[in-house]
């Protein structure tokens, strides 16, 4: 009996899920191994297996890693860390609140990936100055960038896809700030959760801060002197600011990855970081983990595995489900798929399905579509759910189960909140 591509994809994904959770093999090896296996099985073309290495987000990662390293090697990150510690105090909770609030605000108007990449070196600098393990702060940073993107139309791709689905059905789309009706309460709820509950579930990796400080100090020694040049600090800081501004205003001719690479190249040319140290600063575990998951996400989409999951769930609901039940099920499905595949792909798959079912049972689809879009941004339970999660993986010394422990309760809280709150704002 020959198995269909969809079934083969689900089997491979199941094996990968086990390996991710148990970490019997390194995360990057599991991701790349899954992509290679799908290529060997013929689910995806062999040309697609390593296509993730040329993905623009991978290039963005590499560029921002170099910019982040330059902040350390010039002493800028340490100076910023000391300034923030003096302003906020050295307490974990106060630093966490400030970090998450800034990340959520920035990601509401710019890429959540760009926001995380830009703020990560600053947060590590703060942690170094405050003698706090980065593992206590970096995951909250990534989560805040994720739920902050739900505030506006351009905050995250699923929001744009939701609007496109409504327009395609000749229905009234959501306004630019209409997402804020759900996004702003979610942001405050997420910050509150991390402060009260999530912080108790975060790991504390002893020695991480010391390792970061020693690595930075070693890299800063150039020609027998510590690199603490004010001019280079200014150049690095202004470069980072310019990159963030370009990312925020979304200059079409200068996409995120180009802004990051231009910034990184400029810092090498101006001597803010040596070429050798720039190469060493790239976290290749993050690069290969993300690059490996990209073809897997393509397989889920193109093989029909994602649609197979969706159809199976829809069939279980019966012919005329309650609109509240429909919203809840699609939220679970969208959030579940987004833990392992692109949230853009999840929203693109489920928005038309939700819209057609809502119209079929004679209710307004706005609540259903909004639930799908918001749920697609609730990818907090795995390091591969969103680029921000992947980006902080190496620097925070996180393991797969760290995301499961800290992120899954947040997904459940958002599910309960959105299931009751969304229909109040957008009645059926």
Per-residue DSSP letters for 79-123?
Answer: HHHHHHHHHH-S-HHHHHHHHHHHHHHHHTTS-HHHHHHHHHHHH
110 pLDDT band, cuts 50/70/90, is low
List b or e across 230-245, with b for residues whose CB sees 16 or more CB atoms inside 10 angstroms.
Answer: eebbebbbebbeebbe
Higher local confidence (pLDDT), 411 or 108 = 411
**Residue 361, Cα to own-chain centre: how many angstroms?**
35
Q: Cα dist. 173→187, 367, 369, 370 in Å?
A: 23, 12, 10, 11
End-to-end CA distance of the chain: 45
Rounded distance between C-alpha atoms, residue 117 and residue 302, angstroms: 30
Q: Could you report the per-residue pLDDT of 45-98, keeping only the tens digit for each?
A: 999 999 888 877 788 878 887 887 887 788 786 677 667 666 777 688 888 998
HSE on the CB side for 372, CA within 13 Å?
Answer: 30
Q: What is the mean pLDDT of residues 178-201?
A: 95
Closest CA to 382 of 409, 361, 403: 403
Q: 206, 133 in Cβ contact below 8 A?
A: yes
Q: What is the mean pLDDT of residues 390-403?
A: 90
Q: What is the structure's pLDDT at 369? A: 92
Rounded distance between C-alpha atoms, residue 380 and residue 373, angstroms: 15
HSE on the CB side for 187, CA within 13 Å?
Answer: 27
217 pLDDT band, cuts 50/70/90, is very low
H-helix or E-strand spanning residue 233: helix 230-249
User: Beta-carbon neighbour count of residue 149 at 10 Å?
Assistant: 32
* Stretch among 195-204, 313-322, 380-389 having the lowest mean pLDDT: 313-322
Rounded distance between C-alpha atoms, residue 108 and residue 86, angstroms: 27
Closest CA to 378 of 427, 418, 325, 326: 418
Rounded distance between C-alpha atoms, residue 274 and residue 232, angstroms: 12
Closest CA to 393 of 297, 277, 292: 292
Rounded distance between C-alpha atoms, residue 264 and residue 236, angstroms: 9
227 pLDDT band, cuts 50/70/90, is low
* Stretch among 23-32, 132-141, 222-231, 287-296 having the lowest mean pLDDT: 222-231
Closest CA to 50 of 304, 284, 258, 288: 288
Rounded distance between C-alpha atoms, residue 332 and residue 412, angstroms: 9
- This prediction has a pTM of 0.72
Count H helices and E strands in the chain, helices first.
22, 2
What does the mean pLDDT of the chain come to?
83
């Amino acid at each position: 009996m020959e198995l269909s591509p969809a079934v083969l994809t689900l089997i491979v994904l199941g094996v990968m899920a086990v390996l991710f959770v148990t970490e019997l093999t390194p995360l990057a090896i599991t991701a790349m191994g899954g992509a290679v296996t799908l290529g060997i099985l013929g689910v995806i073309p062999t040309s697609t297996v390593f296509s993730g290495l040329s993905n623009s987000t991978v290039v963005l990662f590499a560029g921002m890693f170099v910019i982040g390293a330059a902040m350390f090697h010039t002493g800028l990150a340490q100076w910023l860390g000391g300034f923030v510690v003096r302003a906020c105090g050295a307490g974990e909770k106060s630093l966490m609140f400030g970090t998450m609030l800034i990340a959520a605000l920035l990601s509401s108007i710019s890429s959540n990936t760009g926001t995380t990449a830009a703020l990560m070196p600053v947060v590590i600098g703060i942690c170094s100055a405050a003698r706090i393990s980065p593992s206590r702060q970096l995951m909250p940073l990534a989560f805040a960038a994720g739920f902050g993107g739900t505030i506006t139309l351009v905050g995250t791709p699923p929001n744009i896809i939701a609007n496109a689905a409504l327009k395609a059905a000749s229905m009234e789309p959501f306004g630019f700030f209409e997402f804020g009706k759900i996004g702003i309460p979610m942001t405050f709820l997420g910050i509150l959760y991390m402060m009260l509950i999530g912080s108790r579930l975060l790991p504390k990796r002893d020695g991480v801060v010391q390792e970061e400080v020693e690595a930075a100090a070693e890299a800063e020694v150039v020609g027998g002197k510590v690199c603490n040049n004010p001019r280079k600090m200014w150049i690095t800081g202004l470069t980072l600011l310019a990159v963030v501004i370009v990312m925020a205003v979304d200059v079409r001719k200068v996409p995120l990855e180009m802004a990051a690479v231009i910034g990184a190249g400029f810092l090498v040319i101006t001597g803010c970081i040596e070429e050798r140290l720039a190469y060493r600063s790239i976290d290749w575990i993050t690069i290969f983990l993300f690059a490996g998951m990209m073809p897997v996400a393509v397989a889920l989409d193109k093989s029909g595995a994602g649609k197979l999951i969706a159809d199976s769930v829809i069939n279980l609901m019966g012919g005329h489900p309650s609109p509240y039940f429909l919203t809840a099920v699609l939220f679970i499905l969208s959030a579940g798929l987004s833990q392992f595949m692109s949230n853009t792909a999840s929203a693109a798959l489920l928005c038309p399905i939700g819209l057609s079912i809502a119209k079929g049972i004679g209710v307004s689809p706005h609540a259903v579509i909004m639930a799908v879009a918001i749920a697609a941004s609730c990818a907090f339970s795995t390091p591969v759910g969103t680029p921000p999660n992947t980006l902080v993986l190496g620097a925070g010394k996180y393991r797969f189960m760290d995301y499961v422990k800290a992120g899954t309760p947040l997904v459940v809280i958002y599910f309960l909140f959105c299931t009751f709150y969304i229909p109040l704002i957008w009645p059926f």
